[in-house]
Structure 1
Amino acid sequence: MIDLSHYLSNYLPILIFLGIALGLSSAFVILPILVSRLTGSYKPDADKLSEYECGFPAFEEPRSQFDVRFYLVAILFIIFDLEAAFLFPWAVSLKETGWAGWLTMMVFLAELVIGFAYAWKKGALDWE
Protein backbone atom coordinates (compact mmCIF):
# COMPACT_ATOMS: atom_id res chain seq x y z
CA MET A 1 0.00 0.00 0.00
CA ILE A 2 1.33 3.42 -0.99
CA ASP A 3 1.40 6.07 1.71
CA LEU A 4 -0.23 9.12 0.09
CA SER A 5 0.13 11.36 3.14
CA HIS A 6 3.80 11.97 2.32
CA TYR A 7 2.90 13.14 -1.20
CA LEU A 8 -0.01 15.25 -0.01
CA SER A 9 2.05 16.90 2.72
CA ASN A 10 4.26 18.41 -0.01
CA TYR A 11 1.23 20.37 -1.23
CA LEU A 12 0.34 21.73 2.22
CA PRO A 13 2.42 24.95 1.88
CA ILE A 14 0.77 25.64 -1.49
CA LEU A 15 -2.69 25.15 0.00
CA ILE A 16 -1.82 27.42 2.93
CA PHE A 17 -0.54 30.09 0.51
CA LEU A 18 -3.71 29.85 -1.59
CA GLY A 19 -5.88 30.10 1.53
CA ILE A 20 -4.05 33.20 2.74
CA ALA A 21 -4.22 34.77 -0.74
CA LEU A 22 -7.95 34.08 -0.98
CA GLY A 23 -8.53 35.49 2.50
CA LEU A 24 -6.53 38.66 1.86
CA SER A 25 -8.08 39.30 -1.55
CA SER A 26 -11.55 38.83 -0.10
CA ALA A 27 -10.70 41.20 2.75
CA PHE A 28 -9.43 43.86 0.33
CA VAL A 29 -12.73 43.70 -1.54
CA ILE A 30 -15.21 43.30 1.32
CA LEU A 31 -13.70 45.56 4.00
CA PRO A 32 -13.85 48.83 1.99
CA ILE A 33 -17.46 48.09 1.10
CA LEU A 34 -18.34 47.50 4.74
CA VAL A 35 -16.47 50.60 5.92
CA SER A 36 -18.21 52.79 3.36
CA ARG A 37 -21.59 51.42 4.44
CA LEU A 38 -20.81 52.09 8.11
CA THR A 39 -19.49 55.61 7.56
CA GLY A 40 -22.29 56.62 5.22
CA SER A 41 -20.04 57.58 2.32
CA TYR A 42 -22.12 55.55 -0.13
CA LYS A 43 -25.10 57.93 0.01
CA PRO A 44 -25.10 60.05 -3.15
CA ASP A 45 -26.12 63.69 -3.14
CA ALA A 46 -25.77 66.58 -5.58
CA ASP A 47 -22.27 67.53 -4.45
CA LYS A 48 -20.96 63.98 -4.73
CA LEU A 49 -22.41 63.59 -8.20
CA SER A 50 -21.03 66.89 -9.49
CA GLU A 51 -18.16 67.17 -11.96
CA TYR A 52 -14.86 67.24 -10.17
CA GLU A 53 -12.24 66.46 -12.83
CA CYS A 54 -12.73 69.21 -15.40
CA GLY A 55 -15.25 71.51 -13.77
CA PHE A 56 -17.95 71.51 -16.44
CA PRO A 57 -20.71 69.05 -17.24
CA ALA A 58 -19.98 66.29 -19.70
CA PHE A 59 -21.17 67.03 -23.23
CA GLU A 60 -21.22 63.40 -24.36
CA GLU A 61 -22.51 60.15 -22.99
CA PRO A 62 -19.72 58.68 -20.85
CA ARG A 63 -20.32 55.20 -22.26
CA SER A 64 -19.94 56.27 -25.87
CA GLN A 65 -17.76 54.12 -28.07
CA PHE A 66 -14.24 55.16 -28.91
CA ASP A 67 -12.98 55.22 -32.43
CA VAL A 68 -11.39 51.92 -33.40
CA ARG A 69 -8.09 53.71 -34.03
CA PHE A 70 -7.60 54.13 -30.26
CA TYR A 71 -7.76 50.37 -29.81
CA LEU A 72 -5.62 49.70 -32.88
CA VAL A 73 -2.86 52.03 -31.71
CA ALA A 74 -3.00 50.50 -28.23
CA ILE A 75 -2.75 46.96 -29.59
CA LEU A 76 0.11 47.91 -31.90
CA PHE A 77 1.92 49.57 -29.00
CA ILE A 78 1.58 46.46 -26.85
CA ILE A 79 2.74 44.18 -29.66
CA PHE A 80 5.81 46.24 -30.55
CA ASP A 81 6.61 46.92 -26.90
CA LEU A 82 6.57 43.23 -26.02
CA GLU A 83 8.61 42.35 -29.07
CA ALA A 84 11.16 44.99 -28.12
CA ALA A 85 11.31 43.46 -24.64
CA PHE A 86 12.56 40.23 -26.23
CA LEU A 87 15.68 42.07 -27.39
CA PHE A 88 17.09 42.57 -23.88
CA PRO A 89 17.47 38.89 -22.88
CA TRP A 90 18.74 38.14 -26.38
CA ALA A 91 21.39 40.84 -26.13
CA VAL A 92 22.54 39.54 -22.76
CA SER A 93 22.79 35.94 -23.93
CA LEU A 94 24.21 36.62 -27.39
CA LYS A 95 27.66 35.38 -26.37
CA GLU A 96 26.24 31.98 -25.40
CA THR A 97 23.84 31.60 -28.33
CA GLY A 98 26.40 32.45 -30.99
CA TRP A 99 25.57 32.73 -34.67
CA ALA A 100 22.45 30.58 -34.38
CA GLY A 101 20.98 32.99 -31.84
CA TRP A 102 21.99 35.98 -33.92
CA LEU A 103 20.41 34.54 -37.07
CA THR A 104 17.22 33.64 -35.21
CA MET A 105 16.92 37.18 -33.85
CA MET A 106 17.50 38.66 -37.29
CA VAL A 107 14.62 36.55 -38.65
CA PHE A 108 12.51 37.75 -35.73
CA LEU A 109 13.41 41.39 -36.39
CA ALA A 110 12.69 40.96 -40.11
CA GLU A 111 9.20 39.70 -39.23
CA LEU A 112 8.80 42.68 -36.91
CA VAL A 113 9.79 45.11 -39.67
CA ILE A 114 7.42 43.41 -42.13
CA GLY A 115 4.58 43.74 -39.60
CA PHE A 116 5.45 47.38 -38.97
CA ALA A 117 5.54 48.12 -42.71
CA TYR A 118 2.20 46.38 -43.18
CA ALA A 119 0.59 48.40 -40.36
CA TRP A 120 2.06 51.59 -41.78
CA LYS A 121 0.88 50.82 -45.33
CA LYS A 122 -2.66 50.03 -44.09
CA GLY A 123 -2.77 53.42 -42.35
CA ALA A 124 -2.99 52.03 -38.83
CA LEU A 125 -0.44 54.57 -37.64
CA ASP A 126 -2.02 57.60 -39.32
CA TRP A 127 -3.83 60.00 -37.05
CA GLU A 128 -6.29 62.65 -38.15
Structure 2
Amino acid sequence: MASVAAGYLPILLFLAVALALSVAFVVLPMIVGRLTGATNPYADKLSEYECGFPAFEDSRAQFDVRFYLVAILFIIFDLEAAFLFPWAVSLGWIGIAGWAAMMVFLIELTLGFVYAWKKGALEWE
Protein backbone atom coordinates (compact mmCIF):
# COMPACT_ATOMS: atom_id res chain seq x y z
CA MET A 1 0.00 0.00 0.00
CA ALA A 2 2.88 2.36 0.73
CA SER A 3 4.33 1.86 -2.77
CA VAL A 4 1.00 2.90 -4.35
CA ALA A 5 0.94 6.08 -2.24
CA ALA A 6 4.59 6.77 -3.12
CA GLY A 7 3.64 6.61 -6.80
CA TYR A 8 1.30 9.54 -6.32
CA LEU A 9 3.90 11.69 -4.55
CA PRO A 10 5.23 13.37 -7.74
CA ILE A 11 1.68 14.26 -8.78
CA LEU A 12 0.93 15.74 -5.37
CA LEU A 13 4.17 17.73 -5.45
CA PHE A 14 3.30 19.03 -8.91
CA LEU A 15 -0.15 20.10 -7.71
CA ALA A 16 1.33 21.80 -4.65
CA VAL A 17 3.82 23.75 -6.77
CA ALA A 18 1.06 24.71 -9.23
CA LEU A 19 -1.15 25.91 -6.38
CA ALA A 20 1.70 27.91 -4.84
CA LEU A 21 2.51 29.56 -8.17
CA SER A 22 -1.17 30.34 -8.75
CA VAL A 23 -1.40 32.04 -5.40
CA ALA A 24 1.87 33.88 -5.97
CA PHE A 25 0.96 35.21 -9.42
CA VAL A 26 -2.80 35.73 -9.08
CA VAL A 27 -3.90 36.26 -5.51
CA LEU A 28 -0.79 37.99 -4.15
CA PRO A 29 -0.86 40.91 -6.64
CA MET A 30 -4.55 41.44 -5.90
CA ILE A 31 -3.84 41.61 -2.17
CA VAL A 32 -0.90 43.97 -2.69
CA GLY A 33 -3.07 46.17 -4.91
CA ARG A 34 -5.72 46.42 -2.23
CA LEU A 35 -3.20 47.23 0.48
CA THR A 36 -1.35 49.89 -1.53
CA GLY A 37 -4.49 51.69 -2.69
CA ALA A 38 -4.05 50.90 -6.37
CA THR A 39 -7.79 50.19 -6.63
CA ASN A 40 -8.77 53.80 -5.87
CA PRO A 41 -10.38 54.88 -9.16
CA TYR A 42 -10.40 58.51 -10.27
CA ALA A 43 -10.89 60.24 -13.61
CA ASP A 44 -7.29 59.97 -14.81
CA LYS A 45 -7.14 56.25 -14.06
CA LEU A 46 -10.38 55.62 -15.92
CA SER A 47 -9.37 57.59 -19.04
CA GLU A 48 -8.27 56.05 -22.35
CA TYR A 49 -4.64 55.06 -22.58
CA GLU A 50 -4.32 52.91 -25.70
CA CYS A 51 -4.34 55.65 -28.32
CA GLY A 52 -4.17 58.84 -26.27
CA PHE A 53 -7.52 60.36 -27.18
CA PRO A 54 -11.12 59.57 -26.22
CA ALA A 55 -13.10 57.19 -28.36
CA PHE A 56 -15.29 58.91 -30.92
CA GLU A 57 -17.55 55.97 -31.73
CA ASP A 58 -19.40 53.26 -29.91
CA SER A 59 -17.07 50.48 -28.78
CA ARG A 60 -19.61 47.90 -29.92
CA ALA A 61 -19.42 48.93 -33.57
CA GLN A 62 -19.17 46.09 -36.04
CA PHE A 63 -15.89 45.42 -37.78
CA ASP A 64 -15.57 44.91 -41.48
CA VAL A 65 -15.49 41.24 -42.41
CA ARG A 66 -12.10 41.75 -44.06
CA PHE A 67 -10.47 41.98 -40.63
CA TYR A 68 -11.69 38.47 -39.91
CA LEU A 69 -10.54 37.24 -43.30
CA VAL A 70 -7.05 38.61 -42.64
CA ALA A 71 -7.07 36.85 -39.27
CA ILE A 72 -8.04 33.59 -40.97
CA LEU A 73 -5.24 34.07 -43.50
CA PHE A 74 -2.79 34.60 -40.66
CA ILE A 75 -3.93 31.38 -39.02
CA ILE A 76 -3.62 29.52 -42.32
CA PHE A 77 -0.01 30.57 -42.83
CA ASP A 78 0.83 30.11 -39.17
CA LEU A 79 -0.42 26.53 -39.31
CA GLU A 80 1.47 25.97 -42.51
CA ALA A 81 4.73 27.06 -40.94
CA ALA A 82 4.06 25.08 -37.76
CA PHE A 83 3.49 21.88 -39.73
CA LEU A 84 6.14 22.30 -42.42
CA PHE A 85 9.18 22.39 -40.13
CA PRO A 86 8.57 19.06 -38.31
CA TRP A 87 7.51 17.50 -41.61
CA ALA A 88 10.73 18.59 -43.31
CA VAL A 89 12.84 17.20 -40.46
CA SER A 90 11.10 13.82 -40.45
CA LEU A 91 10.63 13.44 -44.21
CA GLY A 92 13.29 10.72 -44.42
CA TRP A 93 11.38 8.53 -41.95
CA ILE A 94 7.79 9.06 -43.05
CA GLY A 95 8.39 8.25 -46.71
CA ILE A 96 6.06 8.76 -49.61
CA ALA A 97 2.89 8.53 -47.49
CA GLY A 98 4.01 11.47 -45.36
CA TRP A 99 4.97 13.42 -48.46
CA ALA A 100 1.56 12.80 -50.03
CA ALA A 101 -0.27 13.80 -46.85
CA MET A 102 1.64 17.08 -46.70
CA MET A 103 0.91 17.76 -50.37
CA VAL A 104 -2.82 17.31 -49.67
CA PHE A 105 -2.49 19.68 -46.71
CA LEU A 106 -0.69 22.29 -48.82
CA ILE A 107 -3.28 22.01 -51.58
CA GLU A 108 -6.05 22.61 -49.04
CA LEU A 109 -4.22 25.67 -47.70
CA THR A 110 -3.69 26.97 -51.22
CA LEU A 111 -7.39 26.56 -51.98
CA GLY A 112 -8.25 28.51 -48.83
CA PHE A 113 -5.83 31.27 -49.83
CA VAL A 114 -7.27 31.46 -53.34
CA TYR A 115 -10.79 31.61 -51.91
CA ALA A 116 -9.85 34.49 -49.60
CA TRP A 117 -8.11 36.25 -52.48
CA LYS A 118 -11.18 35.91 -54.70
CA LYS A 119 -13.39 37.24 -51.89
CA GLY A 120 -11.24 40.38 -51.74
CA ALA A 121 -9.63 39.83 -48.35
CA LEU A 122 -6.33 41.22 -49.59
CA GLU A 123 -7.78 44.39 -51.11
CA TRP A 124 -8.30 47.50 -49.01
CA GLU A 125 -10.21 50.62 -49.92
- TM-score, with length taken from structure 2: 0.80
SS of the equivalent of 1:86 reads: helix
Structure 1's unaligned 5+ residue stretches are: none
Structure 2's unaligned 5+ residue stretches are: none
1:53-85 per-position Cα deviation (integer Å, ceiling 9, x unaligned) = 443222123344433332332133113211221
Alignment map for 1:16-95 (pairs within 5 Å): 16-95=13-92
- TM-score, with length taken from structure 1: 0.78
The sequence identity of aligned pairs, in percent, is: 73
**Contact conserved, 2:69 with 2:116, CA < 8 A, in 1?**
no
Deviates more, 1:12-21 or 1:56-65: 56-65
CA RMSD in angstroms, aligned pairs only: 2.2
- In structure 2, do the counterparts of structure 1 residues 108 and 46 end up closer, same or farther at CA, with 3 Å as the change threshold? closer
Query: RCO greater where, 1 or 2, for CA within 8 Å and sep 6 or more?
Result: 2
**Contact conserved, 2:91 with 2:98, CA < 8 A, in 1?**
yes
